[in-house]
Amino acid sequence: MAQVTYIARKDEDADFANLTASGTLAVTGAITQTGASQFNSTVTVGVDDTGHDVQLFGATAGAHLLWDESADTLRLVGGASTVMLGTLIVGVDDVGHDVQLFGATAGAHLLWDESADTLRLVGGAATVMLGTLTVGVDDAGHDVQLFGATAGAHLLWDESADTLRLVGGASTVMLGPLTVGVDDAGHDVQFFGATANANMLWDESADELIFATGASIDLTADAAMIDFQDGGASSIDPSATAETGWINVNIAGTIRYIPYYAVS
C-alpha cells in the first residue's frame, strides 16, 4: 500500500489534517494528542536500557500511575489504587521476592521474607483471626510457639511429642471448671511441687488420690475441710486450734465420728 500523507497548513481547516503511514512512523519532537487514539498492536516506550517515564492520569487531581524509568518502578501516586480480581503472583517457583504491606503506623508492616521463606508481622503489626487456624495436617504437624513479655516464657505445642508445654516460667490461669477425661474413662493427673519427686497423683486406674514422696495436706486453717463422699457426709474437720479434730465417716448411712489429736 502506498503511503498517503495529508498535512494541513496553519491557516487551513484542521479537518483536513490527516496522516496515514503504512510503515514505521518516527517522531523526534513532542506530540500533544487531544483526541482519542487506537493502537492495534504493541506499544513500546524507549528501548532496552534506555526507557522513559510513562504517566496515566485519572479523574482525581494528582492521582496517576507512573512508570518511573530511572527507578525501574511502577508507582501508584496521589491516592491512585488498584483492584486485584484474579491471582497475584510474585516471582516464580524457587525464585521469589520480598513483599511488604504497610499500614497506618510508622514501621508497621507485613513482610514476606523470600530469603527465609517466612511471613513476618513487623513493627507492631498484628493479626486478628476470625476463623479456624490450622497448622499442618493430620499426622504431619508443626511446632507452634506463642511468646509473652518475659524472656524465654512461651507456650509450645511440641508436635514431635504431641504435647502442649508451658516453658520458661509461662503459666495459665483457670477461670472455669477443668475436666480431665469423661465418666468411666479418665486419665492420670499429677501436680508437682518445689521438692524433688513430691507430687499429688490422681491415679485413674485405681480411682485414688495419692500424695507421693513427702507431699501432704495442710488443714491448719480455720474451717478447713475435705469431703470424702458426695454431699459431704464424710469429711475431716479440724477444730479452730488445729490441735484436735475428728473424721466424719458415713458407714451405710450412719455417721461415725473418729477423733484425732496432735502428737508433739
For the chain, give every domain's residue range: 143-172, 189-261
Neighbour count for residue 247 (Cβ, 10 Å): 15
Q: Are 199 and 213 in contact (CB under 8 A)?
A: yes
Q: Are 3 and 20 in contact (CB under 8 A)?
A: yes
Residue 151 and residue 100: Cα distance in Å, rounded? 28
pLDDT per residue, tens digit, the chain (264 aa), is: 445 554 555 555 555 455 666 667 777 778 888 888 888 888 999 999 999 999 999 999 999 999 999 999 999 999 999 998 999 999 999 999 999 999 999 999 999 999 999 999 999 999 998 999 999 999 999 999 999 999 999 999 999 999 999 999 999 999 999 999 999 999 999 999 999 989 999 999 988 888 888 888 776 655 555 555 544 445 555 444 555 666 666 666 677 777 766 665
φ/ψ region of 184 (left if φ > 0, alpha if ψ in -120 to 50, else beta) reads left
